[in-house]
Amino acid sequence: VSATTTWSRAPRVAHVDSGDRVVVLPLDGLGPDTTPVALDGVAQIVWDVLDRSRTGAEIVAALGEINPDHGLTEADLAGFLDDLRAAGILVTS
Amino acid sequence: VALTTPLRTPEAVTLAHAVVAEVAAAREIRVLFIKGPSAAWWGLREPRVSADVDVLVEPARLTELVDALADVGWHERQMPAVPRIVPLHSATLINASWSCDLDVHSCFPGIFAAATEAFDRMWESRAQMPIAGVTVPVPSRAMSACILALHDLRHPTSTRAVRELPRLVERVRDVLGADAVDEIAQAARLLRARTPLAPFLADIGVDVVEPDLSDVEERLWDQMVAERTSPSIAWLHALRRAPWHRRPAVLWAALTFVNPTDQDHGDPYTYRRLRYRVARLGRGVRGVGRVARQVRT
């Protein structure tokens, strides 16, 4: 994960927290193939800590504080963040 | 990390609010979300899981909104032709991947102000309800209370109405207080719904001194209530309106009609379905005499 890239929730997403998971739907470019994305476990924690913009380093630190045993490698996290960006759920600056 | 999964109904209902609001806003179509989560948000009832999303659309743009929602995967549920006392001014939309329906209305039964005027009145006093991380427009608390009460009063014998209307009365009268009562009385007047709402208004302490409907409108409301209580009445109206040569076909359709949303009878080839049709036939014949009296009056 790039330590300096800043990650945020996309400004136009709908989301609902069911307790055991968060389901997120990008609203930009909404179409018949737009699919809600369910985030649970570590993925849900990542979503939660991005209630404000954070750099990659801050996300790693926050994950470690909330769940030291999360078991996610930095490569896994980088891939996950990229997937969410591609899905229109996160943005970088 | 799983990226896709089936939606649960509460999740679908919540997110569908955002979808409809987004689609409508992109085309500058005015919509208002009614019943469902907005009722709980206004404190008019306890939060509970809804199975559908109800939305009022500015009447002239119903078709445009339905078409726009089709573009994002929501299509009209196909229903068999059923006669109605009042023509249907709504569409039910479904999406195979979402476990809820969208009910799009251009007017609401029991509101006798012209549909456009009623919508404009509700739009003027709208509020923004936070849901799914966005905000969506909803009628004012008073207008929302009128809609909830009208819905219950139109289905007076349903288990839900029997349970919920007294709770709505209690919340308005005992929790929300005198200001809310005044606002509801005013909203009922603006919507020309005081006569249909009279039992509710009386229970919250508002006297409806003069009815606000003509005799014809009042009879129409009575028939709309009867239609929900006894669907046979709508078929009888259809029978009376049909030319003589069409009446046998209308009668057959009435006696054999099966609601496709009745999941217990969904298989056309089962013995159970055959029994249901026979029972339906019997109910239809017995109902004729009872509802014929209502039609005559």
Residue A32 neighbours by CB under 8 Å, 6+ apart: B71, B72, B73
Q: Which two tokens stand for residue A3?
A: 């330590």
Mapping DSSP onto H, E and C, the string for chain A reads CCCCCEEEECCCEEEEECCCCEEEEECCCCCCCCCCEEECCHHHHHHHHCCCCEEHHHHHHHHHHHCCCCCCCHHHHHHHHHHHHHCCCEEEC
Tell me how far apart the alpha carbons of residues A59 and A90 are, in angstroms, rounded to a whole number.
13
The confidence score (pLDDT) of residue B264 equals 41
Across B154-178, b (16+ Cβ under 10 Å) vs e yields: bbeeeeebeebbeebbebbeeebee
**Partner A contacted by B10 (CB < 8 A):** yes
Among the partner residues A32, A39, A43, nearest to B73 by beta-carbon distance: A32
Across the interface, do A31 and B97 touch by the CB < 8 Å criterion? no
| B133 and A CB contact within 8 Å | yes
Of A36, A40, A41, the CB nearest to B15: A36
Asked whether the ipTM of the predicted complex exceeds the cut of 0.95, the reply is no
Token code pair at residue B77: 């549920």
Cβ(A21)–Cβ(A48) below 8 Å: no
Nearest CA in chain B to A87: B3
Q: What is the pLDDT of residues A42-68, one digit of tens each?
A: 999 999 999 999 999 999 999 999 988
Distance CA B268, CA B256 (A): 12
Residues of chain B under the 50 pLDDT cut:
1-3, 260-270, 273, 281, 287-288, 291-292, 294-297
The pLDDT value given to residue B268: 41
Q: What is the pLDDT of residue B233?
A: 58
Of A31, A38, A40, the CB nearest to B4: A38
Q: Quickly tell me which residue has 């400004």 as its tokens.
A: A11
**CA atoms B6, B10, B13, B17: torsion sign:** negative
Q: Residues in chain A whose beta carbon is closer than 8 A to a beta carbon of chain B?
A: 13-16, 18, 21, 23, 25, 27, 30-43, 80, 83, 87
Q: According to the model, what pLDDT value does residue B291 have?
A: 45
pLDDT at position B207: 85
CB contact under 8 A, B132 and A18: no
Return the structure tokens found at B49.
Answer: 């899981």
Contact B98, B6 (CB under 8 A): no
Ranges of residues in chain A whose predicted pLDDT is under 70: none
Q: In chain B, which among 89-128 make CB contacts under 8 A with chain A?
A: 97
Chain A residue with Cα closest to B9? A18
Q: Tell me what pLDDT residue B260 has.
A: 46
- Cβ–Cβ contact B2 with A under 8 A: yes
Q: How far is A2 from chain B (nearest CA, A)?
A: 20
How much is the pTM?
0.81
